[in-house]
Amino acid sequence: MIEARFSWPTRIYWEDTDAGGVVYHARYVAFMERARTEWMRAMGYGQEAMRSGDGQVFVVRAMTLDFLKPARLDDALETTVELLQCRRASLVICQAVLRDGQPLVTAQVRLAAVGARDFRPQAMDDTLYATLKQFETLHAQD
């Protein structure tokens, strides 16, 4: 079983930085996407399996970012995922990119469950919903 707060490691490479050697702001969104993907995979819900099996995907509906400190070339970071709210067709997730436990960027991400073909809102199946709902409960206990 994975913990209420999931963490995924990231290393900063040249391709992640701007001319000043600082991580380009859009790269943080990519780091967060990877962490959410690995969080779902750790629960047994890989993106391709969901898309081709149940015909469902999660899409970002809204995202609020707060840039606190810059990351730089060769930094070892961790990107965290915590489920704040789970509804039948949507999730609200809190994410952070950390260096040595200190937040560099924080975000709140609203995801919508949609059909893979028509991108219309679609309720999660009972098993996925129950799996995710337990993490909302774990976060509430922190």
* Residues acting as catalytic residues: 18
CA distance 53 to 25: 34
User: Which pair of tokens denotes residue 63?
Assistant: 């995202």
Q: Where are the alpha helices (DSSP H) in 4-111?
A: 25-42, 47-49
E-assigned strands of the chain? 5-11, 56-67, 76-87, 90-99, 102-115
